[in-house]
Amino acid sequence: MKWTQEQGIAFETARECITALMSILTADLVQAEAEHGPDSRQALAINAEITTLFKERSALTPTDVEGVARTLAAYAPLVREGLAERRDKQLLIA
């Protein structure tokens, strides 16, 4: 099935947004495992979140305009917030 250039750009942006959020969560997972151990509730919960995001990213298609829009609306603010927190803690170079 064909899609428009705008749909393709939105799709790739949504996928990158999910990937960025997975990266943020992975950093949180590493920290949780270092502090509480790999089988801690916090580490297991973060791992479950990462798995859910991976499945959502895999299921996303360029022609699913509503799904792409939902993904961007839900996750873009979380990515911005996560990156801002890391900048504030000087864990990320601006």
**Model pLDDT for residues 11-56, shown as the tens digit of each residue:** 999 999 999 999 999 999 998 999 999 889 999 999 999 999 999 9
Q: Of 57, 54, 60, 3, which is closest to residue 25 (Cα–Cα)? A: 54
Tokens 């428009």 label which residue?
A: 4
64 lies in a domain? yes
pTM: 0.88
Please give the Cα distance from 74 to 28 (Å, whole number): 19
72 touches 13 (CB < 8 A): yes
Angle, alpha carbons 75-19-67 (nearest 5°): 50
Instruction: Let me know how many helices (H) and strands (E) the chain has, helices first.
Output: 3, 0
94 lies in a domain? no
15 touches 57 (CB < 8 A): yes
Domain that holds residue 70: 5-88
Alpha helix ranges (H) inside 37-94: 41-59, 65-88
Whether pLDDT at 1 is above 60: yes
Q: What is the pLDDT at residue 17?
A: 97
31 lies in a domain? yes
The number of folded domains in the chain is 1
93 lies in a domain? no
